[in-house]
Structure 1
Amino acid sequence: MNIRFLETFLWVARLKSFRLTAEKLFTTQASISHRIAGLEEELGVKLFVRESRGVVLTPDGQRVREYAERIVSQSHALRQAMGAARDGRGKVRVGVIDSVIYTWFTQLIARISEQFPDLEVEVTADSGRNLCNQLQKGYLDIAFQVDPIRLESVNNLELVRYPLQWIVASGSPLHRHYDNLASLAQHRIITFVAHSRPHQDIVSLLNLHGIDAPRISCVNSFAAMIRMIEEGFGVGVIPPALVTEQLTAGKLTLLQIPDLTDNCLSMISQVASWRTGPGLECCATIAQLAHQVVQDFCRKMGPDYAQPARH
């Protein structure tokens, strides 16, 4: 069975479009159609049906997808293992969320380079949800994100926990005394993506204090989030560890809210998740290197900013 045809099939299933798949794979729609037709002929089933919004999988296509995911994943693992065994080099595909990039990721890259000088490191920056999907589908080998992945083929190691706090632009109209949470909640609140743990914790806290329909802006880019807070667009709910430079420079300020006994709303975690299998032995070592780097980072930052996970 042609692995390239299976990979094409999986992209069409994800994108629900022959045209978008052709653009993704840098080929023509005719070539994509040819591959899918060849796969359908070989399997003796119809894989897709056309609808107004694109193409969708048939029931047979759904069953084929389950097998195709595993076959393509194993094919990638085999090629990587054989490449590493042949020339002592190889490649590791690393996924990382913004909050990792803004804290200790460069130190980890330096440690990886020392431990594996001939290892090629391919880095993908994306949201935690997307990284988890890519790891499960075999497009990443190790991911640093926020939640453990519950799969038999994936190992997890919680690395660090960050307190979330209220942060505003220094000298802005938002930088003032607040008598209570209700007065603070009159302003726009800026935090992580919708339905993330920080977002849910904020909504729960406000509801607990009888505050309905707050204005919350959920942002999936941490760089954009920082810029919005610095410009005084709203009150940020983020870990101070991610903006230490701005806090030290006096651009941002931590707020203290009198009616909250603990100004820390909750904690968010960073977790290393990696696939196991042939050619992926280095991933466990990279996770341990990340653990060492994070221990040093937490000692430097202090417990108010970063706390190492307990195992």
Structure 2
Amino acid sequence: MNLRFLETFVWVARLKSFRLTAEKLFTTQASVSSRIAALEADLGVKLLLRDSRGVSLTPEGGKVLEYAERMLDTAKAMKQSLDSDRAKTGRIRLGVMDTVIHTWMSALVADLGERYPQIEIELVADTALNLREQLQKGFLDVILQTDLLREQSIRSLDLARYPMGWLVATGSPQHRAYASLADLARERIVTFSKNSRPHQEVLSLLQGAGADAPRLNCVNSVAAITRLLRDGFGIGALPPALVDGELSRGELVLLAGLQPPPSLELVVAWQTGVALVDEVVGVCRQVLERYARDVGEQRIVLV
């Protein structure tokens, strides 16, 4: 429903004159008449009566007026709220793990910049372990990483799961059928940094499948892992969401028929009592939901 038409109707009802409404809204009487006619056609009822004595509301018009005034008040309040956000100043220190950087980080920074143009965004990219330590010491305000934190001054929220997979360069020696995870573990495995949650889970999975000494190569950079995989260095244990482009171009392929590593968890954690932090967490959730709708559950699953 067109808010401009509703506003025109409200002013005609208040001023009881098409001429005065046209002057109020800096338009013409013909435009006012056209807007009212369009609104009546949209609603399927007659809203106003015009005669020699002026303009009056029909019974249906009286009902519509109540709703129209509330809708205009709501729209005004929404605009004031957004204007208030845009006037806020300060700094938000945001820490993110590499997985977020390579999926929806750009959209998050763009949304934050648009909503809070006066806010300085200080972005830190690091491992989940280091991000947690920096948050606990008060060096960061919000972090996006893999673990729920339970401390008095920190809140955390489970957001999503990135499904994991086994990825290899198309046509490489590692691009073949594997009888089992133990067979797979004879190859060089490339995964996240040592002692990270995904590294420990990949190691436990392979050892549980009978691989006594898996050949794990730990790298703390998604870009470096991707380059190594494209060059045929080994088999990657990471979320396919990180290499969507390489998969779509056929440079990498997802191995089928094997149990994948456990999904990579995504958790937001933040310092309580810091200005704007709750709002920033809300924007994180909105942007993530939009990203999840775009890529589908094969790439990320919301909690």
- Whether these two folds match at TM > 0.5 is yes
Counterpart selection for 2:280 from 265, 286, 309: 286
**Which residue in the other structure is 1:39 paired with?**
none
Q: Indicate the SS of the match to 2:172.
A: coil
Structure 1 stretches of 5 or more lacking a match?
A: 1-86
CA distance in structure 2 between the aligned counterparts of 1:175 and 1:201, rounded to whole angstroms = 23
Counterpart selection for 1:272 from 268, 274, 281: 268
**Which residue in the other structure is 1:295 paired with?**
289
Question: 1:88, CA displacement in angstroms?
Answer: 4.5
Distance change >3 Å, CA 284–CA 88, structure 1 → 2: closer
* 1:160-179 alignment, distance < 5 Å: 160-179=160-179
* 1:213-228 alignment, distance < 5 Å: 213-228=213-228
Q: Indicate the SS of the match to 1:174.
A: coil
Max radius of gyration: which structure? 2
TM-score by length of 1: 0.67
Question: 1:256, CA displacement in angstroms?
Answer: 1.1
CA distance in structure 2 between the aligned counterparts of 1:182 and 1:137, rounded to whole angstroms = 41
Question: 1:208, CA displacement in angstroms?
Answer: 2.2
Question: 1:183, CA displacement in angstroms?
Answer: 2.3
Deviations 1:8-66 (Å, cap 9, x if unpaired)? xxxxxxxxxxxxxxxxxxxxxxxxxxxxxxxxxxxxxxxxxxxxxxxxxxxxxxxxxxx
Structure 2 stretches of 5 or more lacking a match?
A: 1-86
CA distance in structure 2 between the aligned counterparts of 1:197 and 1:155, rounded to whole angstroms = 20
Distance change >3 Å, CA 180–CA 295, structure 1 → 2: same
Among the aligned pairs, what percent are the same residue? 44
* 1:19-98 alignment, distance < 5 Å: 88-98=88-98
One-letter identity of the residue aligned with 2:271 = R
**Which residue in the other structure is 2:202 paired with?**
202
CA distance in structure 1 between the aligned counterparts of 2:189 and 2:115, rounded to whole angstroms = 42
CA distance in structure 2 between the aligned counterparts of 1:220 and 1:282, rounded to whole angstroms = 30
Task: Work out whether 1:305 is the aligned partner of 2:299.
Answer: yes
CA contact (8 A) 2:128 2:196 kept: no
TM-score by length of 2: 0.69
Question: 1:137, CA displacement in angstroms?
Answer: 1.1
CA contact (8 A) 2:90 2:120 kept: yes
**Which residue in the other structure is 1:132 paired with?**
132
CA distance in structure 2 between the aligned counterparts of 1:186 and 1:264, rounded to whole angstroms = 16
Q: Indicate the SS of the match to 2:207.
A: helix
**Which residue in the other structure is 2:146 paired with?**
146
| RMSD (Å) for aligned C-alpha atoms | 1.5
Q: Indicate the SS of the match to 1:281.
A: coil
**Which residue in the other structure is 1:26 paired with?**
none
Q: Indicate the SS of the match to 2:123.
A: strand
**Which residue in the other structure is 2:24 paired with?**
none
Most deviating of 296-305 and 92-101 = 296-305
Question: 1:118, CA displacement in angstroms?
Answer: 0.9
Q: Indicate the SS of the match to 1:171.
A: coil
Question: 1:189, CA displacement in angstroms?
Answer: 0.5
Deviations 1:265-307 (Å, cap 9, x if unpaired)? 2111111111112xx2311111111111111111211112110
CA distance in structure 2 between the aligned counterparts of 1:276 and 1:179, rounded to whole angstroms = 50
One-letter identity of the residue aligned with 2:116 = F
CA distance in structure 2 between the aligned counterparts of 1:121 and 1:198, rounded to whole angstroms = 28
One-letter identity of the residue aligned with 2:296 = G
One-letter identity of the residue aligned with 2:252 = L
**How many matched pairs?**
217
**Which residue in the other structure is 1:113 paired with?**
113
CA contact (8 A) 1:157 1:287 kept: no
CA contact (8 A) 2:129 2:196 kept: no
CA distance in structure 2 between the aligned counterparts of 1:178 and 1:205, rounded to whole angstroms = 16
CA contact (8 A) 1:159 1:271 kept: yes
CA distance in structure 2 between the aligned counterparts of 1:199 and 1:125, rounded to whole angstroms = 18
CA distance in structure 2 between the aligned counterparts of 1:114 and 1:209, rounded to whole angstroms = 49
**Which residue in the other structure is 1:44 paired with?**
none
**Which residue in the other structure is 2:8 paired with?**
none
Runs of 4+ in 1 over 4 A off after TM superposition: none
CA contact (8 A) 2:88 2:116 kept: no
Q: Indicate the SS of the match to 1:138.
A: coil
